[in-house]
Chains A and B, each alone.
Chain A
Amino acid sequence: MNSYLIKRVMVLIPVLIGMTIIVFSIIHAIPGDPAETILGQKATEQSKQALREQLGLDKPWLQQYFNYMGDLLQGDLGTSIRTKTPIAKEIMPYLAATLELTAAAMLFATFVGVNAGILSAWKQNSWFDYTSMIIALIGVSMPIFWLGLMEQMIFALKLHWLPSIGRMDQRDPVESITNLYVIDTIIAGRWDQLWTVIKHLILPSIALGTIPMAIIARMTRSSMLEVMNSDYIRTAKAKGLSQFLVVYKHALKNSLIPVLTVVGLQTGALLGGAVLTETIFAWPGVGRYIFEAISSRDYPVIQTGILIIAFIFVVINLLVDLLYSAIDPRIQYK
């Protein structure tokens, strides 16, 4: 296992280096003069030159890349052109907001998806099976941004059940410790605030979680159906175990492996989808941070934001890979 882990991380190194090259190249791929693109056509030659020096654009390409890598390895993620603040410091609250949103979305997607899949397989060809698979099919085809708008229209603006935008009631701000508001409110013992935070989380996490939910439900169903026909399930049934135990204890465990893969892959995809969800729900996360940086041509922020999300994506995929063996001892790593 340990040697596998080392090997797996070693394979990641070229990928990580490649990622930095791509992200590094973003600013160099801008057609024309990047300094002019960032500052606008009216900028003076002086200010353009200053920016070039600040970004190191006046040095040879290779030297720029090595400087960039050196800074990265020392934890220097660059400085925002717009706010002149170090990005490493600035990005933390945004990152926390995105993590909270994606975690909530994944929780929703996994819980609803896995259970709907199990029940569909258990009651195969029942009305429940048909309905949930039709919902899953529509869910897979749902544009996140449209679903988000429809949710806002129905549950926030028409029914007034839930807030339509934001993370928190502005008049009663959460005291940030971890920047994960659910945890912060629990630490502070503010249960009323916790409820408000959860209410703000519901609509965006459902919007973000619907596509993975649908994919997980379909995957769980087909995986369960395969397992339910195996010999050991027949044995378990013959022993007189209750249906519930057979399904949730015996069958589920073996059907979880493909499901886990999907959960892992979808968590990565969620990080991309977060850009859209955060735009609709004015959620102050990394996606929005990057998007705003694009509008103001703040390229260092664009670079770092994308690099961080890609890095998280790669780490999640690695974790999923390692989790396999924990769930299924039949999978052995060499």
Chain B
Amino acid sequence: MSQATLNAAPPNAPAEKVSGPWRDAWKAFRKNKTAMMGLCIIVFFILIALLAPLIAPYDYKEQELVNRLQAPSADHWFGTDDLGRDLFTRVLYGARISLWVGFFSVIGSIIVGTILGVLAGFYGKWIDMIISRLFDILLAFPGILLAIAIVAILGPSLQNALYAIAIVNIPTYGRLVRAKVLSLKEEEYITAARAIGMKNSRILLKHILPNSLTPIIVQGTLGIATAIIEAAALGFLGLGAQPPDPEWGKMLSDSRQFIQKAPWTVIFPGGAIMLTVLGFNLMGDGLRDVLDPRMKS
């Protein structure tokens, strides 16, 4: 029989679904109830963030001083804040800010962390020495404190809070990638690639990076949760988003003096932070179980 006939699919066979690592992972992920719950929460908040201008009944900046600190009602589902702004609207718009900071700070940390991690792991020697020590030093500071210091230097703003959070989390991804690259470097297929004369840059892009992806995805998902909390914490301390931005952490600190009179001003923004963070934590845990069984706790 010729090679061609051996490989040809039998005629009229139903088109079989291609089975690949990602498809398998998705199958396993779907069976994981808590992970799916996490995904649903995340999708829910992403939809809210995207559709905020369509769903929100009011303008998030619109002040109605006559309606200060109104309890939740049919007009104002979550009540109003001390400037008479509709809290439901502000919580909806807050999702945009938190998700934006969460995603982009993590993407920033991942890009820089991956570059440094690959350099350290692949080239080794003094490059590794310098980069690894740098990671050690950054990790010697409690994250939020370092972020506070960075914002103290750059000045308080949402943008700077995002940079600070991204910088603080670089070593987490850097170390992860470095460890992965170190173990991949010894694999036989890398030796094979080298033996056929593949260039370093091509080996890195074609083999090492794609294979380092799984731990980054898992850590990145959990990292978004951390980043959202850190951004809210900076906002709460007045070092992140500035008024009138409806950032959840900032909303909490603005309302804390009315906590007894108007508890809803504190309950809803805080609940939104917790729920979003919970979503990313659940999904991250699930992804870890599915993609990287060895990391399973």
Contacts and interface: CB of A to CB of B under 8 A. Distances in A.
Is B one of A's binding partners?
Answer: yes
Interface of A: 14-15, 18-19, 22, 26, 29-31, 137-138, 140-146, 149-150, 152-153, 157, 218-219, 222, 268-269, 271-273, 275-276, 279-280, 290-291, 294, 302, 306, 309-310, 313-314
17 contacts: A18-B140, A26-B152, A137-B34, A145-B232, A146-B270, A149-B259, A149-B270, A152-B259, A153-B259, A153-B260, A153-B263, A219-B297, A222-B297, A291-B237, A302-B149, A309-B142, A313-B141
Interface stretch (B13-21, B48-56, B84-92, B129-137): B129-137
A146 B274 contact: yes
Contact of A290 (B148, B249, B260, B263): B148
Given A141-B278, A153-B266, A314 B260 contact: no
A219 B281 CA distance: 15
A276 B235 CA distance: 11
Interface of B: 34, 133-134, 136-137, 140-146, 148-149, 152-155, 225, 229, 232-233, 236-237, 239, 249, 252-253, 256, 259-260, 263, 266-267, 270-271, 273-274, 277-278, 281-282, 297
Query: What is the predominant secondary structure among interface residues of chain B facing chain A?
Result: helix
A218 B281 CA distance: 13
Given A141-B225, A280-B256, A306-B145, 6 more contacts: A26-B149, A137-B281, A150-B266, A150-B267, A219-B297, A314-B140
Contacts of A142: 274, 277
A272 B236 contact: no
A40 B204 CA distance: 50
B237 A276 contact: yes
Q: Which of A218, A222, A275 is most buried by chain B, counting CB atoms within 10 A of its CB? A: A275
B233 A18 contact: no
B145 A275 contact: yes
B142 A18 contact: no
Given A26-B149, A153-B263, A275-B145, A145 B252 contact: yes
Contacts of B259: 149, 152-153, 157
A310 B233 contact: no
A310 B252 contact: no
A19 B297 contact: no
Given A137-B281, A310-B140, A314-B140, A149 B232 contact: no
Contact of B141 (A14, A275, A276, A306): A306
B148 A275 contact: yes
Contacts of B142: 268-269, 271-273, 309-310, 313
Nearest to B152: A294
A137 B282 contact: yes
B239 A294 contact: yes
Contacts of B281: 137, 140-141
A166 to B, nearest CB: 16
Contact of B137 (A15, A222, A268, A273): A15
A199 to B, nearest CB: 20
Given A145-B252, A157-B260, A14 B133 contact: yes
Given A140-B281, A141-B278, A18 B237 contact: no
B149 to A, nearest CB: 5
Nearest to B277: A141
A138 B281 CA distance: 9
Nearest to B270: A146
Nearest to A221: B297
Contacts of B155: 31
